[in-house]
Amino acid sequence: MQTYLHALLEQRKNTALYRHRVIHNSPQTPLLVIKGQSYLSFCSNDYLGLANHPRLKIALQHSIDEYGVGSGASHLVTGHTHIHHLLEKELAAYTGCDSALLFSTGYMANIGVITALMGRHDAIFLDKLNHASLVDAALLSRAKMIRYPHNDMQALDRLLSKTTAQHKLIITDGVFSMDGDIANLPHIVKLAHIHDAWVMVDDAHGLGVIGETGRGILEFYGLEVPILMGTLGKAFGVFGAFVAGSTVLIDTLIQSARSYMYTTAMPPAVAQAIRTSLIVSDEESWRRQYLHELIGYFRAATTHMPLIDSVTPIQAIILGDAEKALAVSAALYQRGLLVTAIRPPTVPQGTARLRITLSASHTKKQINTLITALRDVLS
Ligand SMILES: *Cc1c(COP(=O)(O)O)cnc(C)c1O
């Protein structure tokens, strides 16, 4: 085994696909300390700058005094506290759905909901750029998996017409995690109606960020879908995820979503920090407004760069091959900036890129530093 694995790792290194972890020593703020040096980071999904917010920290600390650190069991045994229960009600209210169910991570939420609803005689339609957890969930469900080209509604229409499956489920990211563009949800909903299909949206990067009051893609378009998945470790700055929908859907998931049933509930103190995050993200709506101001500012200054069209905090600069993306990321690192190079298989071959994420915790001055450095390294 050692020899075999070693050869595979060497192969990765030779093709610029080897991954390593950056070890830092700081809270999730724009400045990260690495080996005693401070770096300006554009990598975090902490879009509203809540991950290190004093009110969230205090909520967690106080709740630990009251509930301890661990939940001790799964939700169906003795892990489901009053705090979890209140948070689920508040998430339902936040999203305008009847019910919501907490999961420990977004990955597990996707696995749970998709495997609970779909089986051998069904078909799942996925955007080609959907998040890996959705692809894994579809595979695990044993339903027929049909992937359509990114946001290609004609292709989706054609593929839906051809299927004879019992149940059809269309799944899309709300905001695409590596490109930052937004799904054509109005068209998807229309096709679902025509072809009698169900719709699930994974709004990991949209919730808290887009829509008039940050309610995500559904508010952005003024739409409803039967299944909404949201995460709590990105804009909300904490950890965890949820699925929202009808009470019948949520009850079904409690009965049969295996990644819900067979795992330890998140610590109650974490749930309490999330409850506070929902309040703070509303009360401090300036964070969202300021974030969108920064996005506009950044885009106006980078019109000459190969940027993907995006009104979200995810701004991707396409560079082509993995070597190039790594070299540019390394050059930025030399200048004290952290910008992740995203390579295949996370993105399609030939579309390796820099993935810049902006946050309400960035200052204009920091954005200027980024723009200047990008001009230097890309010229
Ligand atoms: C991050 C992400 C997930 C996974 O959520 P976690 O809570 O980090 O496990 C799922 N879907 C999308 C689109 C994501 O970006």
Q: What is the pTM of this model?
A: 0.96
**Average of per-residue pLDDT across 122-144:** 98
pLDDT the model gives residue 97: 98
241 lines ligand 1 (CB under 6 A): yes
HSE at residue 103, side-chain half, CA atoms within 13 A, is: 25
pLDDT the model gives residue 16: 80
Asked: is 54-283 a CATH 2.30.38.10 domain? The reply is no
233 lines ligand 1 (CB under 6 A): yes
Q: Which atom of ligand 1 is nearest to the CA of 130?
A: 13
pLDDT the model gives residue 19: 87
Reported CATH class of domain 18-48+285-378: alpha beta
Domain with CATH 3.90.1150.10 in the chain: 18-48+285-378
- The Å distance, Cα 161 to ligand 1 centre, comes to 30
- Judged against a pLDDT cut of 90, whether residue 56 lies above it is answered with yes
148 lines ligand 1 (CB under 6 A): no
User: Which tens digits make up the pLDDT trace of 11-53?
Assistant: 999 988 888 899 999 999 999 999 999 999 999 999 999 999 9
pLDDT the model gives residue 20: 87
Give the mean pLDDT of the chain. Answer: 97
Indicate which residue of 80, 84, 131, 205 is catalytic.
205
Indicate which residue of 99, 141, 177, 359 is catalytic.
177
Establish whether 177 is a catalytic residue: yes
- The Å distance, Cα 205 to ligand 1 centre, comes to 8
pLDDT the model gives residue 15: 85
- The Å distance, Cα 47 to ligand 1 centre, comes to 14
Please check whether residue 60 is in contact with residue 51, taking contact to mean a CB–CB distance below 8 angstroms: no
Establish whether 234 is a catalytic residue: yes
Distance in angstroms (rounded) separating the CA atoms of residues 112 and 141:
9
- The Å distance, Cα 324 to ligand 1 centre, comes to 27
For the chain, what's the residue count? Answer: 379
Domain with CATH 3.40.640.10 in the chain: 54-283
- In terms of Cβ atoms closer than 10 Å to its own Cβ (0-12, 13-18, 19+), residue 12 is exposed
- Residue 252 in 3-state DSSP? helix
pLDDT band at 367, cuts 50/70/90? very high
